[in-house]
Structure 1
Amino acid sequence: MMTGTRRRSITLLSAVALFGLACVLSSLLLRQQAAAELAKAGQTLHRLISQRADQHDAHLTSLSALVQAADPAPIATVEQVAASITRFYPRIVGIDVVDLATTPPASLLDVTDPAIVAAEAAQASGATVRTRAIDDGTKLLLVKRALTDGVGHYAIALVIDIARLAASDVALPEGARAELGLAEHAQAGKKAAFSADIASRTQPLRLSLATTVPRWPTPPPAFLIVAALLTALGALLVDRLLEARARASEAARKAALAAQDARLAHAGRVNAMGELASGIAHELTQPLTAILSHAQAGQRLVQRPGVEPATLAPALDAIARNAKRAGEILGRLRAWISKSEPDLEIVDLAELAREVAHLLTTGALPAGSSLKVENDGSRPLVRADRVQLEQVVFNLGRNGLDAVAEAKGERIVTIAVATEAGQAVLSVADSGPGLPPDAQARLFEPFFTTKPGGLGLGLALCNRLIERFGGTLDGGNAAAGGAVFSCRLPLAAEAIRREAAE
């Protein structure tokens, strides 16, 4: 069965694992959310830059048409148009017209390096636009040749600020950074969160979005606090439920064991019916013998002439008393077989010893035998079934009288009552030959006896009865000779209160 400490350890580890899983899932969700936001922002910015690239083509076409309107080109008009374009489109930081027919080529607006523009124009054919990165990659140079009468000796140049071209009209996600450059110059193997080529036939640009957000972002503190509290609460509830379930299971197990013990005890009693049937015969022998003796004595008295009726009274009283005692013995033995509890009451042990001695002496004592009762002056009270306890003392006394029947010298049986160490003690000692050494270990074993013709049930039943009252029964040889049997029973609460008062 799982112990409470092990259960709590498993619950705690499960709670920690659940908290960790919640953090991982939250981090994964944040990661997916950040990726989705970054992709959305990249697509929006990609469309915006593509539109701006188309505007560049439109400006180049308009300027080319203006340059072709006359020869020489109307530079003053071109200069006015260029000023208007740069004012409305801040990313276009310069517009120039280069005359390719002169040696060296000449810049008509003094904005660009005419040699660079001429070099790019030399590679342009027809309406093709050349794109080149200048100023350490911070700007773009767009070059288009303007044809006049089939001879293109003018080149139109736009200078674009890359940072402004890549600027977004809306804020990018936290930690995101846009990078725009020529597609042919993109770093091979560099992995960006978002990357796409600009949709332009003339400007081969590539947009990339990078982010400084960790690959596995940390969940917010509020989430960590709430998750920790919920996990702790869940672990506590699970622990309480498991503890309640364990208690219920333990209670059910104990109830089942108790029921099983009760069934086994009852089965043991029923299985012992054969033993108890022999016990009934053993226990009833004494009262029946006394009844027979007194009945025979009464018959002899009746046969005598002139006998007064009052002479028969003692014999009749003895017969009635022993018959009642036999009935009580039968009732107690029947209760022993059934599940009923003994009828407990407060019993004065000293008084009970005197009554048993009287019962024993009313019968025929062995010749030369005597029975006496001793008391240390106390009046020990015990809680027991009077009839059953009386049977125990009667059996012990009867055994003592049987032991001294053939003894030489004094034939004395002593029933002593005393109070020792908070317990009531009743001992029965005899002056007989004592117990054989091999018999002392088997005194209370059923069907073991040292008497010829004995059943071996008396001491076994006595021991069981004393144990039912919470006491013990011991037997052995006395130092002065003979056997001694001692019953030790707990004092009743009334006796303890009385001793405290005294």
Structure 2
Amino acid sequence: MQADKWEEAYLAQSQDAAVGRMFRGIIHNLGGIIQVFSLHTDLSAMMLDKAMAVLAQMRQAGASPELDSLHDLLTRRADALSQMQEKVVQSQQILQRTQILPDFLPLPGGVAYTVNSVIATEVEFMSADSVFKHKVRKTLNLAEPLPALARFQLELHQIIHILLSNALEAVQGQEDAEIVVESFLEGEGVGIRVTDNGPGLGSEAAAHCYEPFFSTKEGHLGLGLYLAKKLISRCGGELSHKSSPGSTGFSLLVPVEAMQV
């Protein structure tokens, strides 16, 4: 009974952590977008100041209705730009304090939230890691169309994050590091496969990788794949792996009916 309670408590805590991680990913990506807006509004303000200075010199040399009209136009643009700069600052402040809980509603345009949505989001979130973003070649082979996810969205987000994190660790330091993520339909299920070109699993790791607290890396708790296995079982699916020198792939398969309400 105590073991059951421990497992349920751990799974509940991991879900809370997953929501927090997804939130940090959203903040990271929106923060980058707003940073671009901030940069360009500042550059626009500098250019506008120079334009106003040149216009002032031209008006001193000789006033004209055309120059007066241009001055009025630039003045209005300056007011609008000032408002934009204020909104950029406001957006940055909102991102610092806003808490978002994803509802996994249909995407813009009525596009369904599918396994491909999970994969694309998690790959984007992982790009907050500079090694993943700049030093790993990422290949996505995503099947279309896939059924909408009405259940287990958060569980699948957690699982994909675990598999991507493990793949990233496997290729750390490699010059030709590559991670391939695939989605596919197989029988009555939807599958996901994450493959890396790392050194591969040793015989001991391959035999015990789903056991709690087993890890070949110092300082690691060894709970990631254990959690992934538990979560995929909750979804009514299966998790498996194949490994050889230079290639390790983890695959999960979830029945389509399990993803429906």
TM tier, shorter chain?
0.5 to 0.7
1:417-436 mapped onto 2 (5 Å cutoff) = 417-436=183-202
- Of 228, 231, 236 in structure 2, the residue corresponding to residue 470 of structure 1 is 236
What secondary structure sits across from 2:139 in the alignment? strand
Instruction: Give the residue type in structure 2 aligned to 1:488.
Output: L
How big is the shift at 1:394?
A: 1.7
How big is the shift at 1:383?
A: 5.6
Q: 1:476 to 1:277 in 2, by over 3 A?
A: same
Q: Tell me if 1:373 matches 2:140.
A: yes
Cα contact 1:380–1:419 (8 A) shared by 2 = no
Cα contact 1:295–1:315 (8 A) shared by 2 = no
2:167 equivalent in structure 1: 400
Q: Tell me if 1:358 matches 2:124.
A: yes
Aligned equivalents of 1:378, 1:459: Cα separation in 2: 28
What secondary structure sits across from 1:351 in the alignment? helix
1:232-251 mapped onto 2 (5 Å cutoff) = none
What secondary structure sits across from 2:130 in the alignment? coil
2:46 equivalent in structure 1: none
Instruction: Give the residue type in structure 2 aligned to 1:492.
Output: E
Aligned equivalents of 1:306, 1:347: Cα separation in 2: 37
1:447 equivalent in structure 2: 213
Instruction: Give the residue type in structure 1 aligned to 2:169.
Output: D
1:385 equivalent in structure 2: 152
Aligned equivalents of 2:116, 2:21: Cα separation in 1: 22
Cα contact 1:429–1:484 (8 A) shared by 2 = yes
Aligned equivalents of 1:391, 1:270: Cα separation in 2: 20
1:67-216 mapped onto 2 (5 Å cutoff) = none
What secondary structure sits across from 1:492 in the alignment? helix
1:272 equivalent in structure 2: 7
Instruction: Give the residue type in structure 2 aligned to 1:423.
Output: G
Cα contact 2:164–2:194 (8 A) shared by 1 = yes
Note the alpha carbon deviations across 1:268-319, whole angstroms, 9 max, x for none.
4323367558847975784576588679979x99x99948456568867876
Q: 1:286 to 1:431 in 2, by over 3 A?
A: farther
Aligned equivalents of 2:235, 2:91: Cα separation in 1: 34
Q: Tell me if 1:485 matches 2:258.
A: no
Aligned equivalents of 1:397, 1:319: Cα separation in 2: 27
Instruction: Give the residue type in structure 1 aligned to 2:163.
Output: L
Aligned equivalents of 2:131, 2:91: Cα separation in 1: 18
User: Larger radius of gyration, structure 1 or 2?
Assistant: 1
Instruction: Give the residue type in structure 1 aligned to 2:146.
Output: R
Note the alpha carbon deviations across 1:431-459, whole angstroms, 9 max, x for none.
22222221011111111123332221121
Note the alpha carbon deviations across 1:461-480, whole angstroms, 9 max, x for none.
1111110111001123157x
CA root-mean-square deviation? 4.2
Cα contact 1:293–1:363 (8 A) shared by 2 = no
Aligned equivalents of 2:151, 2:97: Cα separation in 1: 24
1:147 equivalent in structure 2: none
Aligned equivalents of 2:22, 2:28: Cα separation in 1: 10
Aligned equivalents of 1:450, 1:313: Cα separation in 2: 46
What secondary structure sits across from 1:373 in the alignment? strand
Aligned equivalents of 1:470, 1:442: Cα separation in 2: 22
How big is the shift at 1:358?
A: 2.2
Aligned equivalents of 1:318, 1:474: Cα separation in 2: 38
Instruction: Give the residue type in structure 2 aligned to 1:379.
Output: L
Instruction: Give the residue type in structure 2 aligned to 1:414.
Output: V
Aligned residues: 207
Structure 1: give runs of 5+ residues left out of the alignment: 1-263, 329-345, 496-502
TM-score by length of 1: 0.34
Aligned equivalents of 2:11, 2:154: Cα separation in 1: 16
1:244-263 mapped onto 2 (5 Å cutoff) = none
Aligned equivalents of 1:374, 1:314: Cα separation in 2: 35
What secondary structure sits across from 2:210 in the alignment? coil
Aligned equivalents of 1:317, 1:370: Cα separation in 2: 34
2:69 equivalent in structure 1: none
Cα contact 1:475–1:485 (8 A) shared by 2 = yes
Cα contact 1:415–1:428 (8 A) shared by 2 = yes
Aligned equivalents of 1:368, 1:353: Cα separation in 2: 19
Aligned equivalents of 2:247, 2:93: Cα separation in 1: 36
Cα contact 2:23–2:100 (8 A) shared by 1 = no
TM-score by length of 2: 0.61
Q: 1:412 to 1:353 in 2, by over 3 A?
A: same
1:461 equivalent in structure 2: 227
Instruction: Give the residue type in structure 1 aligned to 2:7.
Output: A
Between the aligned residues of both structures, percent identity stands at 21
1:56-67 mapped onto 2 (5 Å cutoff) = none
1:123 equivalent in structure 2: none
Aligned equivalents of 1:493, 1:296: Cα separation in 2: 36
What secondary structure sits across from 2:192 in the alignment? strand
What secondary structure sits across from 2:168 in the alignment? helix
Note the alpha carbon deviations across 1:37-56, whole angstroms, 9 max, x for none.
xxxxxxxxxxxxxxxxxxxx
Instruction: Give the residue type in structure 1 aligned to 2:216.
Output: T
Instruction: Give the residue type in structure 1 aligned to 2:164.
Output: G
1:324 equivalent in structure 2: 100
How big is the shift at 1:369?
A: 1.4
Q: 1:410 to 1:466 in 2, by over 3 A?
A: same
Note the alpha carbon deviations across 1:368-390, whole angstroms, 9 max, x for none.
11333212334145663211211
